[in-house]
Amino acid sequence: MPMLLKGFPEIRPFRRHRREVLLSALHAWGKATDESQQTALIKAHVFLLEIWHKQRQLEQFWPPRKARKVKKTELYVALDFDGVLHSTELGPLKQHCADYAAGRINAEQFLETVNRERRARYGLTSDNVDFLFDRAAFFSSAFRDLGRLQVRLVIGTSWRNTMQPEALRALLPPILDERVVGVLSPHDEEHREPGTRARLMQDWIAKNAPHARWLAVDDDAELWEGAHSRLVQTRRGGLDGPTWRVLRDICESVAANNGRFNWMFEDLSVASD
């Protein structure tokens, strides 16, 4: 058969579609000058169609391999607000939270009221910093370009003791809200009981993401007693460069090692002032 095809390069490609094979054979047929060449073309044509047919049959039993789904690695971060996303002094008073929770003010009015009153109290005048969630974009940038690592946020701020989860999320900038997957259970006495948030986070993980990797970003180390190895501690002024670097290094290590990097027993905290 190779000898038959040698003189007719128009019909040599075996892997062409059937329609292209037919057209190529007909084109070569028109060039045939005698009966022997026509006979050879017929045999070659039948040979090519048989190959095409066998290929189709094989594909039914051994279909092309599907692309493998890339498994995502998840890292859960328990997030405080005051002292992380903004300075501790800028945090709302209990009355602000109560008014918002009761519906007396909406999310926009809550943010405006707190910013105005707290900035006036501390004599702050800058328009670029020192307002609620002024470190949100900086914080979120620690989670960019991490490949298969997906960072999920669990809200741990004391604001949750007054506000419903939906109301809390309505206050967050979209860049953070899109990562939120849960809120720790309320606990009014958490600041009087060391390690409260650590236990609440462990309970949340056990219920919602068993065996998942997690850490906390908070300015109050006492709330994480018993889990300091998982705490990235910020200063009261909010997230700063050195603390961001610690957080970013953890995320990059987990991402690079597909979650197998054992960082949880190291000291991840940054001493507060």
Q: What is the pLDDT of residues 15-49, one digit of tens each?
A: 445 556 555 655 665 665 566 766 766 677 677 67
pLDDT-based confidence at 269, cuts 50/70/90?
A: very low
DSSP structure string for 246-257: HHHHHHHHHHHT
Q: Give me the pLDDT at residue 271, please.
A: 37
pLDDT of residue 243: 96
Residue pair 159/94 in contact (Cβ under 8 Å)? The answer is no
- Average pLDDT (103-121) is 91
What mean pLDDT is predicted for residues 2-12? Answer: 43
pTM (whole model) above 0.85:
no
- Between 60 and 143, the higher pLDDT residue: 143
User: Residue 7 has what pLDDT?
Assistant: 43
Identify the three-state secondary structure at position 156: coil
More confident residue, 206 or 69: 206
- For the chain, what is the mean pLDDT? 81
Amino acid 85: pLDDT = 96
What pLDDT does residue 78 have?
A: 97
pLDDT at 266: 43
What pLDDT, in 10s, does the model give residues 94-103?
899 999 999 9
User: Which residues in the chain belong to E strands, given as ranges?
Assistant: 73-79, 149-155, 180-183, 213-218, 231-233
Return the pLDDT at 268. Answer: 42
Q: Name which residue leads in pLDDT, 85 or 16.
A: 85
Structure-block tokens of residue 22: 């037919």
Higher-pLDDT residue of 157 and 68 is 157
Distance CA 226, CA 92 (A): 28
The three-class DSSP label of residue 81 is coil
**Residues with Cβ within 8 Å of residue 52, at least 6 apart in sequence:** 18, 21
Judge whether residue 152 has pLDDT over 90: yes
Output 71 or 18, whichever has higher pLDDT: 71
**What residue has token string 């986070």?**
201
Q: Which residues contact 120 (CB under 8 A, 6 or more apart)?
A: none
Question: What is residue 183's predicted lDDT score, i.e. its pLDDT?
Answer: 97
Structure tokens at 66: 């599907």
pLDDT: which is higher, 272 or 116: 116
- Say which DSSP state 191 is in: G
